[in-house]
Amino acid sequence: MPKAKEIRAKAREAMAGKWGRFVGMNLLYLVVLMVIGLITAAPLLGSLGGLVDLATKAMAGKTITDAMVTSVLGSFVGTSVLSSLLSLAAMLIEVPLAYALIENIMKAKRDNETTATYFLGRIFPSFGRAWKVTLWQIVKLIVPTILYTIGIIVAAVVMGILTSLGDAGAVIGGLLYFVAMVALVIWYLGKALNLSLSEYVAIDNPEITAKEAVEKSIELMPGYRWKLICLSLSFIGWAILCCFTFGIGNLFLTPYMSVASVVFYEEVLKAHGQTVGTAPAAEPVAEPVVEEQPTQE
């Protein structure tokens, strides 16, 4: 398995001559997210204008009737409900939107037959597939989340009991709580990282189910989770530099990180002896032996 530096080098090599396309699709993705955000926030912003107007009148000493207050509050409640419904609709779109973007990044990394706008046409065709993968990821995290929560509660109870025994108990309890929290976070992070290749597997293997794609990611990731963490941490320097560009640098950094993630996925497949872009070969099925019957002359 290549080191983080080598994976980044392979990502830059794959992006050579195609940086504009990657930056373009990232910019378009951000614009779509911004438009969705403005649509969901517009009703609420309108009702907030009524509240501000009411507060301004009150500060100016103008008369404010109960009817005016009721009208403004009613409008605020109504638009809050509408904004919540729009936010739910936006979330339904954002999941396949991100899935389609990953598909476009993988395609652009591997060939020159795609454009920056390709993923927009893949949002609705990918809708069901994207949500099935996401829901199965959530299902796979239900038990770890419950156990993580129970672990935190138990650690807090034990610390409380030890703390009540005196200063020495408080020190031991605090130390045990800290160790337990670190262990729980590492364990839960490992479970979450196991799911990180789900979308890539699902996109590469459209013939398998979303559940199988998630389970395949869980099968592939053990032994490579720390490698993925190191790869993510290797971009910290670039992220800090982007802070001095008022966010403009992120237009280049985000697709760079995305392509590096694709390279990481492909290297994990190679490490497992599997072909990139195809599902694992099925077990050969033995064909029945047909005995030749003697022919009569």
- Please give the pLDDT value at position 58: 61
- Please give the pLDDT value at position 282: 35
Question: Which whole number is the average pLDDT over 205-228?
Answer: 94
Quote the pTM value. Answer: 0.78
- Please give the pLDDT value at position 91: 82
> What confidence tier does 12 reach under pLDDT thresholds 50, 70, 90?
very high
pLDDT 10s digits, 97-156: 999 999 999 999 988 778 888 888 888 999 999 999 999 999 999 999 999 999 999 999
In the chain, % of residues over pLDDT 90: 53
Q: DSSP letter string over 192-218?
A: HHTTTTHHHHHHH-TTS-HHHHHHHHH
pLDDT 10s digits, 57-112: 666 666 666 565 566 556 655 666 666 777 777 788 899 999 999 999 999 998 87
- Please give the pLDDT value at position 119: 87
Angle at CA of residue 97, ends 219 and 33, nearest 5°: 130
Residue 142's identity, in one-letter code, is I
First to last CA, the chain: 65
CA 59 and chain centroid, separation: 46
